[in-house]
Chain A
Amino acid sequence: MSAEPIIQVTGLHKWFAMLHVLSDISLDVEPREVVCIIGRSGSGKSTLLRCINFLEEPSAGKITVDKLVVEAGNKGRKHRKLVHEIRLKTGMVFQEFNLFPHMSVLENVAEGPITVKKMDRSKAVEIAEMNLDRVGLLFKKDEYPNRLSGGQKQRVAIARALAMEPKVMLFDEPTSALDPELIGEVLNVMKKLAEEGTTMLVVTHEMAFAREVADRVVVMAEGEIIEQGKPVDVFNSPRDSRTQALIERYRSGGAK
């Protein structure tokens, strides 16, 4: 871990009105690293992820993505430009997929390159097809999202994010809205991306995935990072009692 971290979160706080959702969070993600954030619902893990690409405006602290530094609380054109550039460097996958229902699968994936990067249509289509192939859904390119299963929708959403060629992929509980039998196909795609060396920050309830694929597991509770380390260490010998409870619940079958 000698390279400069690609994501650097420093002293991050987030308040929703009088609710202190994130409290003094600091977290680094190295290039090619896969980091899984686990924790109970309401622990702030999704908010942390959403602060990194400014879907949530942090209340205090500093976010660095690939050498771009943004301080919380700034306003104005320069700030907006920096935030925009950070969004170009991060690809986001949502729990609810959020595919554009009025566009075909191919159009969904080509939309970013065409509208945001002003790329030639033919070149964008080429990139879109390549990324659909990566998630194994090139044969569905002319379908509309409402004709796809949940797992297929999420794989298209992953391809849509990949088509922007981001430096980091952010996954916000990508399998939580899926029927159990559809979770596997999405996790397999994510595993493949990890093996290809994609830098990934994954908020998840899938302990088995975290254990198998992550380089590092970060445990959150009550808006703080309470523990982090190699999956083996965190899962086999958790130090914090809340981590123990989390893993215990997962072992006893209550994965959520």
Chain B
Amino acid sequence: MTTDNLKGPSSVIDPHQGMGEALVALQQRRRLIQGLKVSAVWIGLIILVTAAMLMLHISPSYMVQHYDVILQGAGTTLYVSLVSITVATLLALFGSIARLSSNSIAQGISGFYVSLIRGTPLLIQIYVIYLGLPQIGEQLNQLGFPFIGRLFILDAVPAGILALSLNYGAYMTEIFRAGLQSISYGQREAAIALGMTPLQVMRRVVLPQAIRIIIPDVGNQFIAMQKDSALVSVMGVWEITYIANRYARRDSKYMEMFIVAATAYWILTIISSWLQSRLEKRMAQAYER
């Protein structure tokens, strides 16, 4: 079943070598032509959309003048997303281990967390954290616990990060759980038979293998998060969407500003996808030698 014998290439020279080379060259040429055609379609679509915009009196000069404020917002978007994906990854790691554990408390807490967060809209979660929690904070202040009370009153950026982390942590818990479960039971058994404790089995055998499977999904979640972070604009965080909205209202240039904003997200995600595919390629080589 798993016995592909990886012996070195035979030293005998194949008299039909040229045939294989020609076929490979043909394949490469076809792939190149296909790629060029697809690129042409993309360029065509972009020209078409641009032409339509110009006909509708969208002002390109306004867009050019204001791309730099959007760029500032992109910094905040990226910062919020990066911090949130890191926290969410940690939450998901512990959440997934808890979901799979036999400990009833750990199982209960993690199951409750995932169910609650996945069952409610992100926007509501943001409102609860930014507008709801300070209410509790105020009450704690009045009751004479200002130190604890202060923890419930969050600035917009930390509140946004907390909301995104909690939300993505719940979804990623399920992704991590699937990743951990995809490691065959035989791996666990081999480790148990050696005498490893459950923690050692997780740390030495299951996690290192599961991480390879999980990493591409974390990349996908990061890309999704960059776009979902637009929701924190409701708290007045100066990220892409908030800035676009502000200028759009002030100058009544809605289409212009939102196109610039959309383009900024688009470029961010294209860069992230590219980084992700590079990472995946490198991961694929990890077991080779």
Residues from chain B with a CB closer than 8 A to the CB of A88 are 195
> Measured between C-beta atoms, what is the minimum distance from B285 to chain A in Å?
11
Residues from chain A with a CB closer than 8 A to the CB of B195 are 84, 87-88, 112, 116, 164
Asked if B190 CB lies within 8 Å of chain A CBs, one says: yes
Q: Which residue of A lies closest to B194 (CB)?
A: A112
Complex Cα gap A143–B190 (Å) = 19
> Measured between C-beta atoms, what is the minimum distance from A78 to chain B in Å?
15
> Measured between C-beta atoms, what is the minimum distance from B227 to chain A in Å?
33
- Stretch of A11-19, A95-103, A126-134 on the interface side: A95-103
Q: Which residue of A lies closest to B286 (CB)?
A: A102
> Measured between C-beta atoms, what is the minimum distance from B209 to chain A in Å?
5
Contacts A87-B195, A144-B288, A147-B289 given; does A98 touch B3 at CB 8 Å = no
Contacts A177-B1, A182-B3 given; does A116 touch B194 at CB 8 Å = yes
Asked if B193 CB lies within 8 Å of chain A CBs, one says: yes
Chain B contributes a number of interface residues (CB within 8 A of A) equal to 27
Complex Cα gap A92–B191 (Å) = 10
Beta-carbon contact of A111 and B187 below 8 Å: no
Contact with B along A155-179 (1 / 0, CB 8 A): 0010011001000000000000111
Complex Cα gap A164–B279 (Å) = 37
Q: Which residue of B lies closest to A53 (CB)?
A: B193
Name the residue in A55, A96, A102, A143 with the highest tally of chain B Cβ atoms < 10 Å from its Cβ.
A102
Beta-carbon contact of B289 and A98 below 8 Å: no
> Measured between C-beta atoms, what is the minimum distance from B241 to chain A in Å?
41
Contacts A98-B186, A102-B209, A177-B1 given; does A147 touch B6 at CB 8 Å = yes
Beta-carbon contact of B204 and A87 below 8 Å: no
Categorize the interface residue count of chain A.
35 or more
Contacts A98-B190, A100-B190, A143-B289 given; does A150 touch B2 at CB 8 Å = yes
Asked if A4 CB lies within 8 Å of chain B CBs, one says: no
Asked if B287 CB lies within 8 Å of chain A CBs, one says: yes
Beta-carbon contact of A102 and B287 below 8 Å: yes
Asked if A94 CB lies within 8 Å of chain B CBs, one says: yes
Complex Cα gap A90–B192 (Å) = 11
Name the residue in B191, B194, B287 with the highest tally of chain A Cβ atoms < 10 Å from its Cβ.
B194
Asked if A41 CB lies within 8 Å of chain B CBs, one says: no
Residues from chain A with a CB closer than 8 A to the CB of B200 are 115-116
Contacts A143-B289, A144-B288, A150-B2 given; does A102 touch B196 at CB 8 Å = no
Residues from chain A with a CB closer than 8 A to the CB of B146 are none
Asked if B208 CB lies within 8 Å of chain A CBs, one says: yes
Q: Which of B235-289 contact A (CB under 8 A)?
A: 286-289
Contacts A115-B204, A142-B289, A146-B287 given; does A160 touch B192 at CB 8 Å = no
Q: Which residue of A lies closest to B207 (CB)?
A: A102
Complex Cα gap A91–B195 (Å) = 9
> Measured between C-beta atoms, what is the minimum distance from A34 to chain B in Å?
20
Q: Which of A50-106 contact B (CB under 8 A)?
A: 53, 55, 84, 87-88, 90-92, 94, 96, 98-102, 104
Beta-carbon contact of B187 and A100 below 8 Å: yes
Q: Which residue of B lies closest to A112 (CB)?
A: B194
Residues from chain A with a CB closer than 8 A to the CB of B196 are 115-116
Name the residue in A101, A177, A182 with the highest tally of chain B Cβ atoms < 10 Å from its Cβ.
A101
Q: Which residue of B lies closest to A104 (CB)?
A: B289
Contact with B along A107-133 (1 / 0, CB 8 A): 000011001100000000000000000
Residues from chain B with a CB closer than 8 A to the CB of A164 are 194-195
Q: A55-B192, A94-B189 are in contact. List 8 more A-B contacts (CB 8 A).
A: A84-B195, A94-B193, A101-B209, A102-B209, A104-B289, A150-B1, A153-B2, A161-B194
**Can you offer 25 A-B residue contacts whose CB atoms are under 8 A?**
A55-B189, A84-B195, A88-B195, A92-B193, A98-B186, A98-B189, A98-B190, A99-B190, A100-B191, A100-B205, A100-B209, A101-B287, A102-B286, A111-B204, A116-B194, A116-B196, A116-B200, A144-B287, A144-B289, A150-B2, A160-B194, A161-B194, A164-B195, A177-B1, A179-B3
> Across chains A and B, which 5 residue pairs bring their CB atoms closest together, nearest first?
A98-B190, A92-B193, A98-B186, A112-B194, A116-B195
